[in-house]
Structure 1
Amino acid sequence: MSSSLKVREPVRRRWVKAAGLALLSVLLLLAAVLGAQAVRDVPEVRSFMQTYPGHSSLPANAPVGLPVWLGWQHFFNAFFILLIIRSGWQVRTERRPAAYWTRRNSGIFRTKSAPLRVSIMLWLHLSLDFLWILNGIVFIVLLVVTGQWMRVVPLGWDVFPNAVSVGIQYLSLNWPTDNGWVNYNSLQLLSYSATIFVAAPLAIATGLRMSSAWPQRARRINAAFPLAMARAVHFPVMLWFAGFTILHVTLVLATGALRNLNHMYASQDNTTWLGFWIFAGSLVVMIAAWFAATPLVLRSVAALTGTVSR
């Protein structure tokens, strides 16, 4: 067998495997939709959905509406997560980095040990992580100060049966009538809470454990939190963020795009085009950043903070 055939054969197998997984996913989704539609007609299920329509009650002092700062947070979170996933995937798959970056060992950054040399793409990934964490700290502080935390933290056990009810409604294609300006449905609430308070801390902790900033000589901490565990958790967390983003954007556009985008980006409860155009502008910025994140551009930016070598 020629070398070209040897190369093409694994590629062909990967495409066949991917096509098989895609077909299986479609069939499972179709079966879930048909099952949910059949279950909705069961009298006990109808009674359950009447008791739990899909929303948990909020405290009387819970804020109504979405503030302007949350619109900016939507943009910054989407921007950083998109590029973090892109750079993380490149770090995971690259074989020969296009360039390397070394921190300058001078001034307040001077240390006794020589700075480690990392690939230019890992430098981008870590830099974006740092900015995303800063943005997350601002987000958490504003959540607490403004009382918006009451809208994204489950406050009662009824959130779980309400989430089941919403799940049946979504799967049966008889989608619930939501008003995110006032209250998220329970499935949204659980997914937002899991992303903010579980997935984000896991991404930070496992990413820090895998970085050179982690104290390598801390034997007890390293034994309790081994590197292999961090690597095993970090990638699935990235998949969670990717899946959450895709599903979130899909539902925003499919359940009243103009009103939802006005909620998210314009802080208005109406159906004008303002939120859409802000969202469109943010997409242009993210697409431009995606294509600009090349070794040629990154070398120039990274040189401002360290030494770049090929």
Structure 2
Amino acid sequence: MKKSTQKILIQNLFLASSTPLTLADRRLYNYLLHNAFHHFLKQDSFKILLTELIGVYGAGLPPLERLKESFRRLIRTLIEYEVDGKWNITSLLEKAELDEKLEQVTYSYPVECKMLFKDPIILEKSLIQAHFTQKYSNLLYEILATAHYAKKSTLSLEITDLRSRLHIHEGKLTNFSDLDRFALVPAIKEINSYASFAVKYFTKRKGMKVTDVIFEMTSKRDISNTENVIPPKRPRLFIDNPDMERAYAYLLNAETDERRKFFDLARKTAEKKNKRITEEEFDRPDLWFKWVERQLLTKTKD
């Protein structure tokens, strides 16, 4: 009998956590995935030396208390999804064991998480949500990703349908200018920063009224190979000056809103020197740290 190759349909997948993941948490998770992925489905647990985690929190070895905090947040981050109408829940990590004597961490993933991550699209959907901070980013990403991975280059939605799918209540963001400013623009900005495809959109009008939004999606990178979904290990910024190292580490461990302030300042400063910093570099402090060194040194001064 021929084995069925029908793909299991995963729906309504989202990450849930009482505490948002920091950039350092996400970097740690990416390092762990890189370390485990070649044997992801074959092994139950994995080991990684602390020396292989240099660059997660700064230029040196990971501070043990920060490492523990990151593992706590990762294990508490849940993945909720539906299969055949049945609600499922699992977590990003199952367990972690820190051996300070051997300077290594042993860690494992839930079986359900490993099965989900076999699919590159599901893996991207899971990892990308850890980046989103705007209210409508995940819902809009789900809408556009479904169309994009179904090989559709455009998607036209009536305003009423778009509002419904973004769960915008009646009486809220009723004018398109408000819908555009508070929902579409910030969500598209985040999607274009982190997704494997880029989005732009246009409007269709009837008289003065906007009736439809037309989205256009283009691929930025091929994620048919699951391992390509995991962000590459970033070039590490090695700093000998303790004050500079503390300032750089502050960026890596800052909340998203705080890092955004310094990122926007770096972009403005770079523009004055005719240098361009793109939105996609937001999670790459090693590329724009030099533009805000002075401000960060002041911020982190003892």
* TM-score computed with the length of structure 2 as normaliser: 0.30
Q: Which has the higher strand share?
A: 2
Q: Which has the higher helix share?
A: 1
Q: TM-score normalised to the size of structure 1?
A: 0.29
Q: Which has the higher contact order (CA 8 A, sep 6+)?
A: 1
